[in-house]
Amino acid sequence: MAIDHDPTLPAAPATSADPSATPTRSMTMIEAIRDALAVMMARDERVVSFGEDAGFFGGVFRCTEGLQQEFGKHRSFDTPISESGIVGAAVGMAAYGLRPVAEIQFADYMYPGYDQIVSEAARLRSRSAGELTAPLVIRMPVGGGIRGGQTHSQSPEALFTHVAGLKTVIPSNPIDAKGLLIAAVEDPDPVIFLEPKRLYNGPFDGHHDRPIQPWSRHELGSVPEGHYTIPLGTADVVRTGAEVTVLAYGTLRFIAEAAAEETGIDAEIIDLRTLLPLDVDAITTSVTKTGRCVIIHEATRTSGFGAELSAQVQERCFDYLEAPVTRVTGYDTPYPVGLEWVYFPGPDRVGDALKKVVHY
């Protein structure tokens, strides 16, 4: 039996037009995420934000700082330390008609809530024949690069992309983070929103041995004020080239750029932005042009999302390939505390792969 939605709640607002027509200001990724949530909470009273320390304290990374003070404890609140409870509550809220945005403090902590994500959130639409939906967002910091050790550095994106009914998003910069998060909140189905913690506060030029500086206001660009969206399922060609296509996402986008610059290889770099739905047209167009493809991610290699990307490229671009599709990834080991930057794919490893593929 369907749950009647509260008729006093407003309908979801339509998405905005081109963000280039709006005023802009510089933001870090943390600021952009906070701004996206504030925009949606002001625009739609159904949007609520919650998680462990995500209310009064504003989250361990301060992504939700100030929301409780602005919108009240009923819209931005703290939860018990129970990931299963957080996700389960979000599913119930979404089925009732709210637009919950739940924060899991680290992606490493999401495993107790994984059953609720897979068995409830992802399947609610199909198991109810469309009578119920779960328009919710689950935010979680992912990845390494901040010396977080084994329990604060995992990249479990493949565990979500394998699940039918979920959408999986991972931005690499503040402009994308805000536009994609607003699109995720407005989406009619559950969205996993992964936030590379290495990019929260500063730029990343691909080198672990260089200090983290505040976001360069030039490199950062200007984030549009107010409401705008970047459609889910659209990749971004961040560097055009003719010799090889590099597929990357999150932090590894910057590793790819550093490797291309250091090797001098004319690489076309695609920032996927959304893993599901995947922009297969952008991938196919690029690989059929270059004839070569290198895929990089920091998650473990075996059964990582790079394997799916490799299969997609092989199936769609086989007649155009002039070298084997190559993956550069994290190793098949638990995340090493003292050898983080050996485990993490860096410009040297990616550069070696680019040279090998181009000169195959």
Reduce the DSSP state of residue 133 to 3 states and report it. Answer: coil
Please identify which of the residues 74, 152, 162, 207 carries the catalytic annotation: 152
Q: Is 218 a catalytic residue?
A: no
Can you spell out the DSSP letters for 214-270? PPPHHHH--EESS-----TT--EEEE--SSEEEEE-TTHHHHHHHHHHHHT--EEEE
Q: 171, 195 in Cβ contact below 8 A?
A: yes
The set of residues, in sequence order, having a beta carbon less than 8 Å from that of 237 and lying 6+ positions away, is 268, 269, 270, 271, 282, 286
What is the Cα 148 distance to its own chain's centre?
19
Reduce the DSSP state of residue 274 to 3 states and report it. Answer: strand
Give the H/E segment covering residue 124.
helix 124-127
Pseudo-torsion of CA 121, 122, 126, 129, nearest 10°?
20
Q: Annotated active-site positions, please?
A: 152
